[in-house]
Structure 1
């Protein structure tokens, strides 16, 4: 079941009307001064400070893990959707830099397309939340990998960040700050105290949100969906950071992280001295986000849409309305080499992103010598089989279905043989093979859609018009950004 169809069945808020209905809700009373102090420390541009005033109207929020050079381009597409929607209703656009996430394998790689080759930098990051990982040990390696780009004022500014999450926040400010984007790092010293009250409430009834999550998961399963979140018996929705970040369990009035046990009093003392050490799990994070921010709209990707759909009970538990949900923009950036190849073969970029090699083979069929003849012979064989089936049906009507299945099998085998023939011919044609591999590097690097691999600043650093094209793109749906 598609995420949006499930959301409709669950009655979750979607669309601009729902967004407007949720404007005007107040966030944390200390939000503006805390966020102002954070932006001052980051030396944010004037447009970001001007956007603070729009928080009184409400916020459209997006978020993503803290990544090198901003992470994959989808980070910028989420931010663009939030900015576009916020501008339309007079609200602020906020980007939640997920600094509490400790899955460093997802953020330690930086992939760039340099001189038409895919190059990768992989940093040996420690298994800590991104907000705890200092940038200093890796700054020199990053500068060397980025080469001349490291001297660009926007990148140089971002490289002054103290942590990986601050590097990400500065990238957002450097490239999107002039549009008024407000980065929000929940582990920042100025912002983490905003969650103290919510964490205290969660500790007072530590299983309630997990149980609400499980109840909603059962409802989704009954409707035919596949809920991605579920809590085991005794599991809370809170992580505790000690030498590692571990999920807390609760039984008999005592908490445990699997290594040692804690009383509620001990956890409250940890919370008092360093509120950033207690952090919400996925089943609670959006709710904490909206306890601090006056969120009216929430921009998500398809996978996030599925887990946010489970959280209506957790929102109700904390006395919050769910925000209006919006799927982010999907985009393909076309640099001139890829655009020329797609034009040569009359191939749609989205067809290649979704079909890869099969789409390319389909587009070049007419180019390959001798292929059309084989294709026509197979089509003639299909027509002969169809005629034979009609004759058999006239002799014995019960043979119609067996002949139809027979023709379908022959047709499927024929298509597979054609694919093998195309691939074999392609392997012997160095030019076509080169074109296919070049398109893969541009549009399907590492076998993934471009937006999940390359950072958008890579395009902005190479093409001055890239940010302008993004700004002109629709808030949602699909876009092709043709550069150069």
Structure 2
């Protein structure tokens, strides 16, 4: 036994198919339902990786470029040994990547941001052990070109939402971080990593890379920003093909129709042109109108010759949307797997034919294996003790509040109060009255039925009053149950989609390390973790 054993949180696992928050298509994908096989390239199993590697032909010149880009993007950061080794390893044909992606949310946004990073790290470690002849590099693709500011501009800490207010527009990764200092000044504690990130790194993309480096760099995670002029050169043929042929919309619509016929909901919608025009303070859709290409909400207008010349000269001015960002990612990385959440996997399943279409422009382009990230619910020891005292299980709290409420009352042997026999007696009595009335004067039947309904409604009202009186006796316990439900599932959503990781990290310094030890790729289970 080591002198200083690692003190791990207690945890249990629940199969993802027992969690009511996930879509049908995601549940069927992880269950490997045969009907979805036409929509992905590689079965998400451990033994599939050898097959992917055998098919993966990634050009050496692209490895050289990737190496150069990482050198440039990490220029201001003092690299950890593992980061240096992983960047160097990218030059070797024996090296492959596993990738996740997310927008540069301030303070990492919601918990699932760090879950993505940790799952990707764990997958790379697992593959190194499984196939020691190869090297596997975990990549966090920074979605810095996204312009949905509302999505990345806030985070929830200890029940309070902190909001970044700015007049800046365009790609969020290019936004200046100076204004975030206002948030730093009102946080309940100082957080040195983010203090440095938002005061010493001028853009949100740079600041987020630094923060990810500080929290996960020692494990070897590399952050790649796709908003890079040199990297975008690989995308030129795709941009030009999309502008001229506009095939993505056809392929995605066709796939979406197939999925809809199978009873699934299409996650993403394609447009005729699935690129934005990107500039300082600007990210707007490109539309073809007649013989010209126009940038919406701007006076920018190009002929076909002009816009094709622009793609050659300034490919960085073209930004793929959510449907073509995966194509871009797989063009520039020797990638084997993409790690994503339920929504991401759903829209990747719409893209197989799009990947096949663009492969004629880049023979090394393949659709990666799609793997779910890890999922978790984190409880404090105090919360766990309260749940036990209330004679409930953590799994009970996954239910909707009204169902949980009924369940709790039933645990107290307080069944929902009702008067079924009395209702039946009233119905029988009125049935007799109606029969007698019909013999005398059928026109009075409506009056009898009205009285019947009146009596039934009075009885139902009485039921509710008696039920409330019963519940009032246990109002304190019920309030505890509902209060716990709100803390564990804020606004009725999964905790990981609302709360920030700092809720736990600030009080438990080993929080991220503990998760790193607990999470497992391919688990398809929901982790319930109790922090000690």
Tell me which interval the TM-score lies in, with the shorter structure as reference length: 0.7 to 0.9
| Cα distance, 1:167–1:358 mapped onto 2, change above 3 Å | farther
2:255 paired with 1:216: yes
Deviation at 1:271, TM superposition (A): 4.5
Q: 1:239 is matched with which residue: 243, 262, 276? A: 276
Alignment of 1:183-198 (within 5 A): 183-187=223-227, 191-198=228-235
| Cα distance, 1:334–1:418 mapped onto 2, change above 3 Å | farther
| Cα distance, 1:263–1:183 mapped onto 2, change above 3 Å | same
Q: 1:145 is matched with which residue: 186, 203, 211? A: 186
SS in 2 for 1:245: strand
Moved more, 165-174 or 262-271: 262-271
| Cα distance, 1:275–1:480 mapped onto 2, change above 3 Å | same
- Residues paired across the two proteins, number: 439
Deviation at 1:19, TM superposition (A): 3.0
SS in 2 for 1:148: coil
Q: 1:248 is matched with which residue: 286, 291, 296? A: 286
2:493 paired with 1:448: yes
Q: 2:58 is matched with which residue: 26, 30, 36? A: 26
Match of 1:482 in 2: 530
Moved more, 359-368 or 99-108: 359-368
| Cα distance, 1:359–1:253 mapped onto 2, change above 3 Å | same
Deviation at 1:339, TM superposition (A): 1.6
8 Å CA contact 2:239–2:318 kept in 1: the answer is: no
Question: Counterparts of 2:285 and 2:335 in 1: how far apart (Å)?
Answer: 27
Question: Counterparts of 1:277 and 1:353 in 2: how far apart (Å)?
Answer: 45
Deviation at 1:130, TM superposition (A): 1.2
Show structure 1 runs of 5+ residues with no match: 389-413
Question: Counterparts of 1:327 and 1:35 in 2: how far apart (Å)?
Answer: 26
| Cα distance, 1:287–1:365 mapped onto 2, change above 3 Å | same
Question: Counterparts of 1:58 and 1:81 in 2: how far apart (Å)?
Answer: 16
8 Å CA contact 1:347–1:360 kept in 2: the answer is: no
Match of 1:404 in 2: none
> Over residues 331-365 of structure 1, what are the superposed CA-to-partner deviations in whole Å (9 max), with x where a residue is unaligned?
01112232222222243334313434532541354
Q: 1:468 is matched with which residue: 513, 522, 526? A: 513
SS in 2 for 1:111: strand
| Cα distance, 1:43–1:365 mapped onto 2, change above 3 Å | farther
Deviation at 1:252, TM superposition (A): 4.7
Alignment of 1:271-282 (within 5 A): 271=311, 274-282=314-322
Alignment of 1:36-435 (within 5 A): 36-55=71-90, 56=92, 57-90=95-128, 91-113=136-158, 118-125=159-166, 126-139=168-181, 141-150=182-191, 152=192, 154-159=193-198, 160-187=200-227, 191-206=228-243, 207-232=246-271, 235-242=272-279, 244-258=282-296, 259=298, 260-268=300-308, 270-271=310-311, 274-319=314-359, 320-356=365-401, 358-367=403-412, 371-372=414-415, 431-435=476-480
Question: Counterparts of 1:366 and 1:127 in 2: how far apart (Å)?
Answer: 53
8 Å CA contact 1:157–1:174 kept in 2: the answer is: no
Match of 2:47 in 1: 17
CA-based RMSD of the aligned residues comes to 3.2
| Cα distance, 1:246–1:366 mapped onto 2, change above 3 Å | same
User: TM-score with structure 1 length normalisation?
Assistant: 0.81
Show structure 2 runs of 5+ residues with no match: 1-23, 129-135, 360-364, 429-458
> Over residues 155-211 of structure 1, what are the superposed CA-to-partner deviations in whole Å (9 max), with x where a residue is unaligned?
333333322233332222222222111111212xxx442122313442245213333
Name the larger-Rg structure: 2
Question: Counterparts of 1:289 and 1:458 in 2: how far apart (Å)?
Answer: 32
Question: Counterparts of 2:294 and 2:212 in 1: how far apart (Å)?
Answer: 37
User: TM-score with structure 2 length normalisation?
Assistant: 0.74
Question: Counterparts of 1:192 and 1:338 in 2: how far apart (Å)?
Answer: 49
| Cα distance, 1:197–1:420 mapped onto 2, change above 3 Å | farther
SS in 2 for 1:22: helix
Question: Counterparts of 1:415 and 1:450 in 2: how far apart (Å)?
Answer: 37
Question: Counterparts of 2:388 and 2:460 in 1: how far apart (Å)?
Answer: 25
8 Å CA contact 1:100–1:130 kept in 2: the answer is: yes
Deviation at 1:287, TM superposition (A): 0.9
SS in 2 for 1:167: helix
8 Å CA contact 2:391–2:411 kept in 1: the answer is: no
- The runs of at least 4 aligned residues of structure 1 exceeding 4 Å deviation read 268-274, 414-430
Match of 1:2 in 2: 25
Deviation at 1:455, TM superposition (A): 1.9
